[in-house]
Structure 1
Amino acid sequence: MSLRRTILAGLAVLALAPLSAFSADLPDLGGKTVVVVTENAYPPLQFIDPKSGQAIGWEYDAMNEIAKRLNFKVEYQNTSWDAMIQAVSDNQYNIGMTGITIKDERKEKVDFSDPYMRSEQFMLVRGDESRFSDAKSFAAVDDALIAAQPGTSPFYTAVYEILDGKEDNPRIKLFETFGATVQALKAGDVDLVLTDSVAAKGYVDASNGGLKVVGGALGSEDFGFIFPKGSDLVQPVNAALAALKADGTIAALDKKWFLDYKMGE
């Protein structure tokens, strides 16, 4: 199955829902301000448009539509990935969004929305890479390096599914942002970036052949928005997400960002 078909198949599963289940009116939050934090480093979910310099992406469109339907004002702020979950847990922000995988250990710190997207991890490499073509052959190339952000799903996949299970393996080079891992890959400082299919497609499409995906999927993951524990926003946001799935808005966003939009064009 092609990468594009894999993305769309996973997203379609989450987009299907019976219309009758979401017929009730959505909550009205009375125009309150909700502070939403993101990283702007994860295309096509959220990133800085190279043409306009504006922050755009699937998550921005979805959050703006949720805000419209629930009647709240969004104030967007930025922080790094490694600070985001703790900052939301500490009530510095009301909602976090940056393609955050729903994990049980993270639920100890924050509450999650219902899943809004499903994706799979793939191996992003330079377009001329020929030494390896999958996880097993990568592991066999002793001097091949992986770039990852600490504490992320790709980091743990690199440790436990590709390498030797040691989190301090020197073949894993750590970076603060996902964008920095891709820049290191392009520069030849590392040889592999593990990322979900969402970001992989965005970077491949924008690379003009400089990047490609090799090997098969390395597992699937669901993305959700995060909230401070006990937040009264979880239920309204879930209701809005359900409505967006039911009326085709999610499907339209998927088409816009995964089929129609090309970064840099």
Structure 2
Amino acid sequence: MRTRLSVFAVLAALLALLLAACGGDDDSKADDKGGSDEPSATGEGACAGDVTDLLAEICDKGTLTVSTDPAYPPQSSLNEQTGDYEGFDIDVATEIAHRLGVDVAWEAPSWDVITAGSWNGRWDTTVGSMTPTNDRQEVLYFTQPYNYTPAVVVVTADDDSVSDLTTDLDGKKIGVCAGCTYEQFLNKELTIEGYDFDFVIDDAEVSGYDTDTTALQDLANGRLDAVITSVTTAQGYIDAGNPVKIVGDPVFYEPLSVGFDKSSDPSSESLYEAVDKIVGEMHEDGTLTELSEKWYGLDLTTQQ
């Protein structure tokens, strides 16, 4: 028995050495960075190249810290049973981190803190269905859009008074998330370079909320005449059994992009450029379409 065990031990040791020689240094680096054994769409990940600034810092620590707003299912929400974040934005951010060659970590600050910039290194990027409005572009870098979301009007399920959005909502009390594009739309202040908007609702009494979901709750409770939100958030609220409905066509379509703090020290510019490239690759290889159809049941990754 001892003789046989020794032979097997020698064979096992030789096999281990052979596997180690075949593996090379690249596999070790991938493991250290939290990457998978499968090669990413960018080869070995952006961290395998000559990187600088914030991207180099992320590669060194092996983690991309992402801020998101978990109050917006199915884009982003916290699964209370598993304790994990889930949704379209969560999957997009996770895939970006994978293609960089690092792990992903999460932060969930308030929306106004995210959009204000000056993050002071608390997170590296934001993947939270953010529209690259002109005012936000003053403090944040934005990638090419990874999604395009219709903004829709929602009323209570028994309200048949709204049929023409160009007239029937004038002067009405409409709820929106405070400081977001829907509020800017109602105030006729929404500007995004390369996009035109038809501000069809006049003199609305705008009520701002911490989240779209809170506004929808007030609508269902009879405190509002309508809410403007994304079709994905609206449909998710309806699917949850709440007594509201979508009326009319979308009032506008908005591009959604990944954001980076322009005031970051070290600079976030190299990280922004790497992720912009990754988003383009995810469009080209169909990953974004697949994730959109998974979470929304339709492809929202092309401009309408």
- TM-score, normalization by structure 1: 0.78
Paired AA for residue 46 in structure 2: P
Q: Distance in 2 between matches of 1:73 and 1:23?
A: 16
- Counterpart among 200, 219, 224 of residue 252 in structure 2: 219
- The answer to whether structure 1 residue 228 and structure 2 residue 267 are counterparts is no
Post-superposition CA distance 1:174-200 (Å, at most 9, x none): 212222111111211112111122322
Count of residues paired in the alignment: 231
**How well do the aligned residues superpose, as a CA RMSD in angstroms?**
2.4
C-alpha contact 1:26 1:240 (8 A) present in aligned 2: no
For the pair shown, which has the larger CA radius of gyration, 1 or 2? 2
Find the counterpart in structure 1 of residue 93 from structure 2: 63
| Structure 1 counterpart SS, 2:92 | helix
- The answer to whether structure 1 residue 153 and structure 2 residue 193 are counterparts is no
Post-superposition CA distance 1:20-51 (Å, at most 9, x none): xx887641235532221111112211123466
Q: Distance in 1 between matches of 2:61 and 2:233?
A: 33
| Structure 2 counterpart SS, 1:218 | strand
Structure 1 pair 137/49, CA: closer, same or farther in 2 (3 Å)? farther
| Structure 2 counterpart SS, 1:252 | helix
Paired AA for residue 236 in structure 1: A
Q: Distance in 2 between matches of 1:64 and 1:23?
A: 15
| Structure 1 counterpart SS, 2:113 | helix
Structure 1 pair 56/137, CA: closer, same or farther in 2 (3 Å)? same
| Structure 2 counterpart SS, 1:130 | coil
- The answer to whether structure 1 residue 39 and structure 2 residue 72 are counterparts is no
Find the counterpart in structure 2 of residue 163 from structure 1: 202
99-108 vs 81-90, which moves further? 81-90
Q: CA deviation at 1:52?
A: 4.8
Q: Distance in 2 between matches of 1:185 and 1:49?
A: 25
Find the counterpart in structure 1 of residue 106 from structure 2: 76
Q: Distance in 2 between matches of 1:215 and 1:84?
A: 31
Find the counterpart in structure 2 of residue 27 from structure 1: 46
Structure 1 pair 23/228, CA: closer, same or farther in 2 (3 Å)? closer
- The answer to whether structure 1 residue 246 and structure 2 residue 284 are counterparts is yes
Q: Distance in 1 between matches of 2:232 and 2:118?
A: 23
Q: CA deviation at 1:156?
A: 1.7
Post-superposition CA distance 1:123-165 (Å, at most 9, x none): 012211112123234334x5x411122221111222232123x
Q: Give runs of aligned pairs for residues 1-265 of structure 1, distance below 5 A.
A: 26-28=45-47, 29=59, 32-49=62-79, 52=82, 54-87=84-117, 89-140=119-170, 144-160=172-188, 161=199, 162-164=201-203, 171-207=205-241, 210-229=243-262, 230-231=267-268, 232-259=270-297
Q: Distance in 2 between matches of 1:88 and 1:151?
A: 17
Consecutive unaligned residues in structure 2, runs of 5 or more: 1-40, 48-58, 189-198, 299-304
Q: Distance in 1 between matches of 2:164 and 2:177?
A: 21
C-alpha contact 1:39 1:79 (8 A) present in aligned 2: yes
Q: Distance in 1 between matches of 2:126 and 2:120?
A: 12
| Structure 2 counterpart SS, 1:139 | coil
| Structure 2 counterpart SS, 1:217 | strand
Percent of aligned pairs with the same amino acid: 26
C-alpha contact 1:121 1:217 (8 A) present in aligned 2: yes
C-alpha contact 2:151 2:229 (8 A) present in aligned 1: yes
Find the counterpart in structure 1 of residue 301 from structure 2: none
C-alpha contact 1:88 1:226 (8 A) present in aligned 2: no
Consecutive unaligned residues in structure 1, runs of 5 or more: 1-21, 261-265
56-65 vs 86-95, which moves further? 86-95
Structure 1 pair 89/146, CA: closer, same or farther in 2 (3 Å)? same
